[in-house]
Amino acid sequence: MKYTTIIFSTILIGIHSHAQDVNTLIKQVKNKLDNVNSYIATGSMKTSIAYLKIPIAKVNIQYKKPNDLIIKSNNGVTFVPKGVDAISLQKLFSSEFTAIDGGTEMIKQKKLRTVRLLPTSQQSNIVLSTVYINESDLVVEKSSTTTKDDGTYEMEMQYGKYIQFGLPDRIVFTFNAKDYKIPKGLTLDFDNASSRNQKIDKTMLNKGRAEIVFQQYTIN
């Protein structure tokens, strides 16, 4: 019995001490991000979803503290996934939340600390976010966020030159999207043999992916 109690308290203490750690960790990550007041970045965005055949877009990304992120295309028509502004992690950390330690996980041969963030506000669109933090560099390498309205989206970050600002060189943003059907009779298509045989991986219909590669940041 005594033994059990000791184990139990150790776990509790452990959790407690971990929780402390996690909050500190989050704070450190957030502080690092907060060093950037605003930035303008150039880069490219490759949006992939089964029904879109679109070129890689050259984009300008403008960020202003705390939550203002705009993706603009240089060449006109660009499909910008909704919720892609979540790539600004400041936004994620700016709201009130409770952080829960999820231990460590090996992802792509890196040991990352898993932290679950539960918003405290009922109004928040986010239900749950899980962030995977590289503790030595104090950057988020991966996140997964479940929202009330926009489904679940995931992000994977790769860092390079701008790691000291917590700004990635490359982000892969994966999101849920609705199926797309053009209203019948609106197009009168040239139905050639190849198009008739065109089948689609139905499971892929609702999975979108946007890969943003940053070339240059101008940071203030």
Partner 1 sequence: MSIWKLLEIELYKISKRPRTYISFAAISAIVLIFQFAFKADGENYMNLMLQGINDSFQLDKQQAMNGYFMCYIILNTLLVQVPILVALVAGDAISGEANMGTLRLLLSKPISRTEILIAKFLASVFYTIILLIWMAFFALVLSLWIFGSGDMLVFRVAGEVSQIMQIAQDDIVWRYLAAFGYAAVALTVIASLAVFLSLFAENSIGPIITTICIVLVFTIVSNMNIPVIDTHVKPFLFTSYLVGWKGFFYIATTQDGIPIKGSIEDIQSIQRSLMILVGHIGLLLLLSIYIFKRKDILS
CB 180 within 8 A of CB 51: yes
**Should residue 188 be labelled a site residue for partner 1 when binding is judged by CB under 8 A?**
yes
**Should residue 186 be labelled a site residue for partner 1 when binding is judged by CB under 8 A?**
yes
Stretch that binds partner 1, among 32-40, 44-52, 115-123, 165-173 (CB under 8 A): 44-52
Among 16, 52, 127, 218, binds partner 1 (CB under 8 A): 52
**Should residue 13 be labelled a site residue for partner 1 when binding is judged by CB under 8 A?**
no
From the list 101, 134, 126, 169, the residue with the least C-alpha distance to 28 is 134
From the list 70, 59, 39, the residue with the least C-alpha distance to 217 is 39
Q: Scanning the structure block, which residue is given the tokens 């860092």? A: 159
**Should residue 203 be labelled a site residue for partner 1 when binding is judged by CB under 8 A?**
no
Q: Which is nearer to partner 1, 67 or 218 (CB)?
A: 67
Stretch that binds partner 1, among 9-17, 58-66, 106-114, 182-190 (CB under 8 A): 182-190
C-alpha 215/C-alpha 211 separation (Å) is: 13
**Should residue 199 be labelled a site residue for partner 1 when binding is judged by CB under 8 A?**
yes
From the list 62, 84, 56, the residue with the least C-alpha distance to 173 is 84
CB 58 within 8 A of CB 42: yes
Q: Count of alpha carbons within 13 Å of 81, Cβ hemisphere only?
A: 32
Among 109, 122, 123, 198, binds partner 1 (CB under 8 A): 198
Map residues 102-141 to x or -, x wherever contact with partner 1 holds by CB under 8 A.
----------------------------------------
* H or E element in which residue 16 lies: helix 2-34
The contact set with partner 1 (CB under 8 A) reads 46-56, 73, 75-82, 175-184, 186-200, 208
